Amino acid sequence: MAINQPLMQSKQLFLLVAERLCLMQEVAHYKVVHHLPLYVPEVESKLLAQVVTLANSLGLSASHAQATIALQMRFARVIQQQWCEHKERTVLPAYEPKDLERVLRPQLNRLTEEILMQIAKAKSELADPTQAESLRAEYQQQLQVPFLSEQQKWALLESLIAAAKS
């Protein structure tokens, strides 16, 4: 007999979002060490095109799914920029960051796919107005991401809810 855990699918979604955003410090570190720009529009455009295909296959609105991932990418850039500014003011341990192309980017792509799949699984929880307060509390507990403001976190939650309702 399965135990009914409230907001189990949403909690998993929030953990995936947090995991993806927490990788941004490592991405920023790699880019700084290798003198790469923080923003590479071609990479983001390619990923957003893949989001449309996956969203359609999952029964999600492609435009809402794309908007959600685009918002995560925008906040990812914010985190990377904040990390770089923090790095300039702080002595950080010297280590070689994980490889962007072979390790980090595949992780990010996998997490993006998992996030979209989890939005589809969490649709009923995210769209249920009677769960709004519990949902916000669970989200706040799970989304512990450095360099992201509370306002940005709530905007991301609203985006996830909109993607689920579409």
The pLDDT, as a whole number, for residue 93 is 64
Distance CA 109, CA 113 (A): 6
The pLDDT, as a whole number, for residue 92 is 65
Specify whether the CB–CB gap between 58 and 117 falls below 8 A.
yes
For 71-111, write each residue's pLDDT tens digit: 999 999 999 999 999 887 777 667 888 999 999 999 999 99
The pLDDT, as a whole number, for residue 50 is 95
Whether the predicted pLDDT of 1 surpasses 80: no
| Interval 127-148 mean pLDDT | 92
| Interval 45-72 mean pLDDT | 96
How far, rounded to the nearest angstrom, does the alpha carbon of residue 85 sit from its chain's CA centroid?
21
Range of the domain at 135: 8-90+98-165
The pLDDT, as a whole number, for residue 44 is 94
Phi, psi at 139, each rounded to 5°: -60, -45
Q: What DSSP assignment string belongs to 13-75?
A: HHHHHHHHHHTHHHHHHHHHHTT--S--HHHHHHHHHHHHHHHHHHT--HHHHHHHHHHHHHH
% the chain with pLDDT above 70: 96
Exposed, middle or buried, 68 (CB in 10 Å: 0-12/13-18/19+)? buried
| Interval 57-83 mean pLDDT | 96
Residue 3 belongs to some domain of the structure: no
Whether the predicted pLDDT of 5 surpasses 80: no
Residue 159 belongs to some domain of the structure: yes
Residue 138 belongs to some domain of the structure: yes
At 77, which CATH number?
1.20.59.10
Structure tokens at 148: 């992201």
The pLDDT, as a whole number, for residue 95 is 80
Residue 1 belongs to some domain of the structure: no
Number of compact structural domains in the chain = 1
Whether the predicted pLDDT of 65 surpasses 50: yes
The pLDDT, as a whole number, for residue 3 is 43
Whether the predicted pLDDT of 4 surpasses 50: no
Distance CA 37, CA 53 (A): 28
Mean pLDDT for the chain overall: 92
The pLDDT, as a whole number, for residue 2 is 44
Residue 12 belongs to some domain of the structure: yes
Residue 107 belongs to some domain of the structure: yes
